[in-house]
Amino acid sequence: MNDLWDLIVIGGGASGMMAAVTAAKKPDRRILILERNDKLGRKLLQTGNGRCNLTNFKMDSGCYCRENAGFAMQVIRDFDEKAVTDFFFEAGLLLHNRQGYVYPYSDQAASVNDVFHLLIRKWNVSVSYETVVERIIKTDCFHIKTNKGDFCAHKLILAAGGAAYPKTGSDGSGYRLAEAFGHHIVTPLPALTALFGDIKGQKKIAGVRCDGVVTLMADGVLLGRQRGEIQMTDYGISGIPVFQISRYAVQTLAKGETVVCEIDFLPDYDEKLISEMMFHRFEETNFTAEECLSGLLHKKLTALFLWKAGIAAEKKAAKITRELLLALANTIKHFSFTVTGYKDFSFGQVCQGGVSVLELSPSTMESKLVKDLYICGELADVDGICGGYNLQWAWSSGHQAGKAVWND
């Protein structure tokens, strides 16, 4: 099977499908998607817990990794959040805007996938399923060796995904293909993932959810800070604010450096006010320390704070010094522990690292090293925070590549 195609797209995920249907609008072009799974968009079906947060109307460079935010925004400006919503609406997908977070009205990722299947049929894009690419050789065209025979194409788009959620087919094989063309691969690491922590008694607080501010530090340098609902786990911490800044902890730990996490469990109150509250509460001398903290925070957390501040839960309030109460207030506002690790690619929602964007053109996503080779989606070294930003990158970069392939 070595007939010549005008364009082959390797990878039928979000960016690959967008690239294919965009390129297919040029008439009389033969386009083929090579997909290693038995269906398209397997990872897309899992995004947003199956609800698929398509994009976000609060779009700025701060939503993407600091190193490559400028590159990401250059690409996104050419096919922005408004263009994305217009694209899906015109394709027949009704959308729901929830304070800037855009979802399909059905609240089902399957609806988004179904739309792409219809567009692929409409524009006569061919798909070869369960096709694993083994090697690519570039001569006068691209010769692609697979488990299902050889394919050839004038143009090639690599949209094979990163390494996150390998059970969906994102096994990192795209990095090997890009590297074979001479591309530099920034070390792939998990992002949007949970963190392990050395927290005394963490199994007792597992499952507790609370509002707070998470701060990550390394050698006194701020790595990141986010507020939101934190989930305490039996291994450390999870939740959206943790995911948002986890990439910086992962990067730092991968370099062998120490990361310290600090949580402010009462971000709406300053430490002085909390100290005064403690003095007032502990005036009830007949109560125990634990009783004095009733109603302040989750009961499982208060037991942990007392222990960390060096106060026995059953100790009578009358015997607790002001110094210990100041230590208690400080503990609540600055609860700190060492980050010992992170959830791996099996759990990380996206992957940081990938093909260096210095080797890609933001106006076309074409390789600066190999003519007619385009790289898009998670395979490139761009990752965003939670909230539809990673799918926006997939749509924008895929559209950019699909639009550019015929601009000779």
Residues 366-390: pLDDT tens digits? 999 999 999 999 999 999 999 999 9
Average pLDDT, the chain: 94
Q: Which two tokens stand for residue 320?
A: 């607790």
Enter the pTM of the model: 0.93
The DSSP annotation for 374-400 comes to: EE-GGGBS--B-TTTHHHHHHHHHHHH
- Give the torsion sign (CA, 189, 193, 196, 199): positive
pLDDT above 90 for 189:
yes
Residue 100 falls in which region: left (phi positive, over 0), alpha (psi -120 to 50) or beta: left
Over residues 110-116, mean pLDDT = 96
Work out the angle between the directed axes of helices 271-281 and 322-333 (0-180°, nearest 10). 130
Over residues 247-257, mean pLDDT = 96
Q: What is the pLDDT of residue 46?
A: 85
Q: What is the pLDDT of residue 236?
A: 95
Are 164 and 179 in contact, with CB atoms under 8 Å apart? no
Q: What is the pLDDT of residue 385?
A: 95
Q: What is the pLDDT of residue 408?
A: 65
- Give the torsion sign (CA, 68, 113, 54, 29): positive
pLDDT above 60 for 358:
yes
How confident is residue 296, by pLDDT bands cut at 50, 70 and 90?
confident
Residues 58-97: pLDDT tens digits? 999 999 998 999 999 999 999 999 999 999 999 999 999 9
**What is the H or E stretch that residue 239 is in?**
none
CA-angle at 31, arms to 26 and 32, nearest 5° = 160
How confident is residue 239, by pLDDT bands cut at 50, 70 and 90?
very high
Over residues 264-269, mean pLDDT = 96
Are 48 and 103 in contact, with CB atoms under 8 Å apart? yes
Over residues 149-153, mean pLDDT = 97
pLDDT above 80 for 172:
yes
